[in-house]
Chains A and B, each alone.
Chain A
C-alpha cells in the first residue's frame, strides 16, 4: 500500500494564558492509518485534537491537509474540509430533535426560501444513522429522550455524515458500553478499508494496542515518541507517559483484610429517596471499606449522607467514640471527617481560586484566632507543606486551580483534607479521570493513611480498584446491599459483577 500523507502538522504551539499546552508539535498522519494519541491529563492531547478539528486556533505552526494548507476557522469549516471529531463530553444540543443535531450548522442544504424541508432532513439523518449501524435511532426523535450512550451515537452520526477523511475520536469509548464501543470499532475498520484515517485518543492502553497502527505519546505538551506496532507495549507506553519507571504493583500487595475491632463510624438504617433504603454500615479504625456498584446504585449518595451533606430520612449516622450524630457538613468537618466528591470540578474545588485558598478552606476554622483572625503564616505554611508532600505540579500556591491538570487538581483536593488531619476519609471515585502516575500516588497515599490508623470509605465504579485496595467490600444494587466480601487473593471481577447487575 503506497503511503500517502493525509494530514501534516508542523511546529504547532498553543498557550492558554501562561500555560503552554503544546510546544513545537509535529504530527504526520498517512491515509489508512489509525493513529493513537496518549498522554497524561494536561499533556495536550485534547488541545491538539481540538485545533485539528477547528475548535481552537493554534498560536503558531502549519497544518496541511491532502497537500493543501489547512487552517479551519471553526468546526463546521473543518468538517467540510474533511476532518470530524467526536468529543469526550456530550456534545449534543438539547431541546431539539436528532436530525437537527446531526446537521447542526449545515441545515442550509435542506432549506428552501427560508423553510426547512423536514422530510428530506429526517431522511438524510436516518441514512446517516443506518450507515453507522444504529437503525434504532431515528431523526424525528427528540435528543433528550435518548440515553447518554445513544446521544454519543448521534454525535458519531454527525461526525460521519460529512464523509470525513480524518475522524478524531477523543476519549469517547471510555464513556460507552459494549454496544457503542462495537459500533466505533466497526467504524474504524470501515474507515481503514476505505483508505481513510483515524486519530484515536484514549486512556485505555489495551484498547489502543488492539486498535491502532501507530501511537504517539505526548507529555507536558511535547511529543516524546511515536511507536509502531512492533514497539508497542503497555509498560513502555506507561513509562513514556509518566516520564519515569513505575515500579512494583499498582494496588496494594498484601491480602490481609483484618482491621481493628474498634468502630469509628456507624450508619444505622439510613435512607435517601429515591437512591437507597435502610442501609447499615460500620467502619473500623484503620480499615479501607470499598463501596461498589453501578453508577446509579445509590453508593454515591450514601457517601453524601455519611458526610452530612445530604440528610437521611430514617436512622442516623454516628461517630461511635464521641456518640456524636453527623447531621451537617460542619459537624463532619469539625469531627475529622473528610469527603472527596466524585464531581471534582463542580463540587470539590473552587476553580477560580488559588491553590492556597482551596487547600486552607476546611482548615480555616482551626486556624482562626481571636475575632476570626487568620494568620497569613499558617495559611502559606500549610500550603507549601502540602505542595511538597503531594508533589503538586504548579508554579506556586498563588496559581489558580483551573490552570492545573486533572491529576494535579485531584492532588489539591486530597491536600486540603490531609491538611485537616482527618481520621475518616470518604472518597467518592478518588481516581476518576486521573492518569496512571497520579493514580499510583493516590493508592500509595491510601495505604499510608491506613497504616496511620485512619479509616477510609472508598466508593468506586471500578471493580479492579475495589478488589485491589479494600479490606472489605460492600456491593450494592438498586439501593440495597447485595453482598459483603472480605479481602482475598481469590476475588475476581466476575464475582463482583454478579452482585451488582
Chain B
C-alpha cells in the first residue's frame, strides 16, 4: 500500500503522459520565443513579393541597416532598463535635445569629437535625471521620465522655434558610412550580450525585475544598479542621436519625437516581458527593433504614406500582442 503512489506515478502510461506534458510545455516556450522571428520572416517575404524584389535590392538593404541602426542600439540599452521592470518615456525628447546641442556645437565650429561627446552627455544626463527623480523621490519611474520628457521637449522647441539647426553633413560623409555603423553595431551587440547574460550587472537587473524585495534581501544594491541601467540606456540613446543627426542633417522642433514609442513597440513585438525578470532576452528587444524598421521601410517602399503606415503599425501591434503577450501571470495555480 505504501508503494501504490510510486506505482501509479511510475507506471508506463503515466510516464508517457508526463513526457507528453513536458514536451508540450517545452514547445509552447519555444513557440513564444520563435513567433517574433517567424513574424519578421513573414514580413520579409511579404515585402519582397509586393515590391517585386525592390525590398532586397542592395540600396534598400543598406537603407534598412541605416534605418534599423538607431533603434537597435537603443534597444540594447533599453533591455537593461526593461529587464529590471523600468521604462522610459523621455528618450525621444533627450534624443532630440542631444541632436540640438550637437548641431549647435558643429555649426559654431567646435571640433567634431566635442560635439559628439556633448551629444552623448546630454542623453546620459537625461536618463540619469529620470532615474534620479524616481529613486531619489521614491516615485514611479514613469513620472520621473515624464518630467524629463517635458523639460527636454520644452528646451528643444524653444530653441528650434528661432530656426532649424542645419549642419553641412556633406563635410562628414564618413559618419554616414554603412561600414562604420555595422562595426559600431557589432561592438555594442557583443558588449551588450556579454553584460546582459554573463555578468552581475545583467543578472542583478533581471533579479530586480523578478522580485525587487528578494533582490535587496540577497544584498543587491538595487538603486545603484537601476541607476546604472539608465546610464547605459542614456549612452545608447546618445550614440543613436549622433548618427541620426548626420543622416538627417538638421534639427527641428519634432526631432526625436516618437522614438520612445517605437522602442516600446519593439520591446512588445520581440516578446520581451513587459515586467522584466529572468525571461528577458536581449535578442527579443533587437528582433523587435528590426521588425519595426522593416515594417516602416517596407510599407513606404510599397507606396503607403506615413499616416497610413502608422495605422498599419497600430493594427499589427494589436495582432502581435494578442498572439505573443504572456498573460499567464496572476492565474490561479495552487
Whether B108 sits at the interface, judged by CB under 8 Å, is no
- B277 x A18 contact (CB < 8 A): no
Residues in A whose Cβ lies below 8 Å from that of B199 = 368, 371-374
Question: A20-B21, A352-B329, A372-B201 are known contacts. Are A307 and B217 too (CB-CB below 8 A)?
Answer: yes
Question: A352-B210, A368-B200 are known contacts. Are A361 and B218 too (CB-CB below 8 A)?
Answer: yes
Query: What's the minimum C-beta distance from A82 to chain B, rounded to whole angstroms?
Result: 23
Residues in B whose Cβ lies below 8 Å from that of A197 = none
Report Cα–Cα, A330/B332, bound state, in Å.
Answer: 34
Residues in B whose Cβ lies below 8 Å from that of A190 = none
Question: A23-B9, A357-B278, A374-B199 are known contacts. Are A224 and B220 too (CB-CB below 8 A)?
Answer: no
Question: Which residues, 1 to 51 on B, are CB-close (under 8 Å) to A?
Answer: 1-2, 4-6, 8-9, 14, 17-18, 21-22, 24-25
Whether A339 sits at the interface, judged by CB under 8 Å, is yes
Question: A20-B18, A46-B334 are known contacts. Are A361 and B207 too (CB-CB below 8 A)?
Answer: yes
Whether A55 sits at the interface, judged by CB under 8 Å, is yes
- B217 x A354 contact (CB < 8 A): no
Residues in A whose Cβ lies below 8 Å from that of B206 = 353, 357
Question: A349-B214, A350-B207 are known contacts. Are A56 and B14 too (CB-CB below 8 A)?
Answer: no
Whether A455 sits at the interface, judged by CB under 8 Å, is no
Q: Please name the residue on chain B nearest to A339 by beta carbon.
A: B217
Question: Which of A352, A372, A416 makes the CB contact (< 8 A) with B218?
Answer: A416
Query: What's the minimum C-beta distance from A253 to chain B, rounded to whole angstroms?
Result: 27
Question: Which of B25, B195, B201, B278 makes the CB contact (< 8 A) with A354?
Answer: B278
Question: A46-B334, A364-B200, A365-B200 are known contacts. Are A350 and B2 too (CB-CB below 8 A)?
Answer: no
Whether B216 sits at the interface, judged by CB under 8 Å, is yes
- A222 x B22 contact (CB < 8 A): no
Question: A55-B332, A243-B5, A352-B329 are known contacts. Are A372 and B200 too (CB-CB below 8 A)?
Answer: yes
Whether A250 sits at the interface, judged by CB under 8 Å, is no
- A352 x B5 contact (CB < 8 A): no
- B24 x A330 contact (CB < 8 A): no
Residues in A whose Cβ lies below 8 Å from that of B109 = none
Residues in A whose Cβ lies below 8 Å from that of B220 = 329-330, 361
Question: Which residues, 157 to 201 on A, are CB-close (under 8 Å) to B?
Answer: none
- A220 x B9 contact (CB < 8 A): yes
Question: Which residues, 194 to 219 on B, are CB-close (under 8 Å) to A?
Answer: 195, 198-201, 203-204, 206-207, 210-211, 213-219
- A240 x B2 contact (CB < 8 A): yes
Q: Give the number of chain A interface residues (Cβ < 8 Å).
A: 56
Question: Which residues, 40 to 62 on A, are CB-close (under 8 Å) to B?
Answer: 46-47, 50, 55-56
Stretch among A258-266, A291-299, A315-323, A340-348 lining the B interface? A340-348
Residues in A whose Cβ lies below 8 Å from that of B213 = 346-347
- B219 x A350 contact (CB < 8 A): no
Question: A349-B214, A357-B278 are known contacts. Are A222 and B207 too (CB-CB below 8 A)?
Answer: no
Question: A17-B25, A20-B21, A372-B200 are known contacts. Are A353 and B332 too (CB-CB below 8 A)?
Answer: no
- B219 x A224 contact (CB < 8 A): no
Binding site secondary structure of chain A: mixed
Whether A225 sits at the interface, judged by CB under 8 Å, is yes
A216-251 CB mask vs B (1 if < 8 Å, else 0) is: 000111101100000000000001100100000000
- A348 x B217 contact (CB < 8 A): yes
Report Cα–Cα, A501/B264, bound state, in Å.
Answer: 55
Residues in A whose Cβ lies below 8 Å from that of B218 = 329, 333, 361-362, 416
Whether A15 sits at the interface, judged by CB under 8 Å, is yes
Report Cα–Cα, A47/B334, bound state, in Å.
Answer: 7
Whether A309 sits at the interface, judged by CB under 8 Å, is yes
- B333 x A353 contact (CB < 8 A): no
Report Cα–Cα, A15/B17, bound state, in Å.
Answer: 10
- B217 x A353 contact (CB < 8 A): no
- A364 x B203 contact (CB < 8 A): yes
Residues in A whose Cβ lies below 8 Å from that of B207 = 350, 353, 357, 361
Residues in A whose Cβ lies below 8 Å from that of B334 = 46-47, 50
Residues in A whose Cβ lies below 8 Å from that of B201 = 372
Report Cα–Cα, A15/B207, bound state, in Å.
Answer: 28
- A352 x B219 contact (CB < 8 A): no
Question: Which of B22, B214, B221 makes the CB contact (< 8 A) with A330?
Answer: B221
Query: What's the minimum C-beta distance from A406 to chain B, rounded to whole angstroms?
Result: 10
Report Cα–Cα, A368/B195, bound state, in Å.
Answer: 12
- B219 x A333 contact (CB < 8 A): yes
Question: A18-B22, A47-B334, A55-B332 are known contacts. Are A353 and B278 too (CB-CB below 8 A)?
Answer: yes
Most buried by B among A23, A56, A307: A23
Report Cα–Cα, A15/B28, bound state, in Å.
Answer: 15
Residues in B whose Cβ lies below 8 Å from that of A221 = 9
Residues in A whose Cβ lies below 8 Å from that of B204 = 364
Residues in A whose Cβ lies below 8 Å from that of B210 = 350-353, 357
Report Cα–Cα, A23/B15, bound state, in Å.
Answer: 12
Residues in B whose Cβ lies below 8 Å from that of A20 = 17-18, 21
Whether A402 sits at the interface, judged by CB under 8 Å, is yes
Question: A17-B25, A23-B9, A350-B278 are known contacts. Are A225 and B1 too (CB-CB below 8 A)?
Answer: yes
Residues in B whose Cβ lies below 8 Å from that of A329 = 216-220
Q: Please name the residue on chain A nearest to B216 by beta carbon.
A: A329
Report Cα–Cα, A59/B151, bound state, in Å.
Answer: 56
Report Cα–Cα, A491/B278, bound state, in Å.
Answer: 47
Q: Please name the residue on chain B nearest to A225 by beta carbon.
A: B1
- A18 x B5 contact (CB < 8 A): no
Query: What's the minimum C-beta distance from A11 to chain B, rounded to whole angstroms?
Result: 12
Residues in A whose Cβ lies below 8 Å from that of B211 = 346-347, 349-351
Report Cα–Cα, A87/B6, bound state, in Å.
Answer: 30
Residues in B whose Cβ lies below 8 Å from that of A365 = 200, 219
Report Cα–Cα, A209/B230, bound state, in Å.
Answer: 59
Residues in B whose Cβ lies below 8 Å from that of A371 = 199
Residues in B whose Cβ lies below 8 Å from that of A55 = 332
Question: A350-B207, A350-B211, A361-B207 are known contacts. Are A18 and B24 too (CB-CB below 8 A)?
Answer: yes
Q: Please name the residue on chain B nearest to A362 by beta carbon.
A: B218
Report Cα–Cα, A354/B207, bound state, in Å.
Answer: 11
Report Cα–Cα, A115/B224, bound state, in Å.
Answer: 55
Residues in B whose Cβ lies below 8 Å from that of A47 = 334
Question: Which residues, 351 to 386 on A, are CB-close (under 8 Å) to B?
Answer: 351-354, 357-358, 361-362, 364-365, 368, 371-374, 376
Report Cα–Cα, A347/B210, bound state, in Å.
Answer: 11
Query: What's the minimum C-beta distance from A423 to chain B, rounded to whole angstroms?
Result: 15
Residues in B whose Cβ lies below 8 Å from that of A354 = 278
Residues in B whose Cβ lies below 8 Å from that of A350 = 207, 210-211, 214-215, 277-278
Query: What's the minimum C-beta distance from B154 to chain A, rounded to whole angstroms?
Result: 38
- A361 x B215 contact (CB < 8 A): yes
Residues in A whose Cβ lies below 8 Å from that of B221 = 328, 330
25 interchain pairs, CB-CB under 8 A: A15-B21, A17-B25, A18-B22, A18-B25, A24-B8, A46-B334, A50-B332, A222-B5, A222-B8, A243-B5, A309-B216, A329-B216, A329-B217, A333-B219, A350-B277, A353-B207, A357-B203, A361-B203, A362-B218, A364-B203, A364-B204, A365-B200, A372-B195, A402-B333, A416-B218
- Nearest first, the 9 A-B pairs at minimum CB distance are A333-B219, A350-B210, A372-B199, A362-B218, A18-B25, A353-B278, A372-B200, A350-B211, A361-B218
Binding site for B on A (CB under 8 A): 15-20, 23-24, 46-47, 50, 55-56, 219-222, 224-225, 239-240, 243, 307, 309, 328-330, 332-334, 339, 341, 346-354, 357-358, 361-362, 364-365, 368, 371-374, 376, 395, 402, 416
Knowing that A372-B195, A376-B198 touch, tell me 15 more A-B residue pairs with CB under 8 angstroms: A19-B21, A23-B9, A225-B1, A329-B217, A330-B220, A348-B214, A350-B211, A352-B278, A353-B277, A358-B214, A361-B207, A361-B220, A362-B218, A362-B219, A374-B198
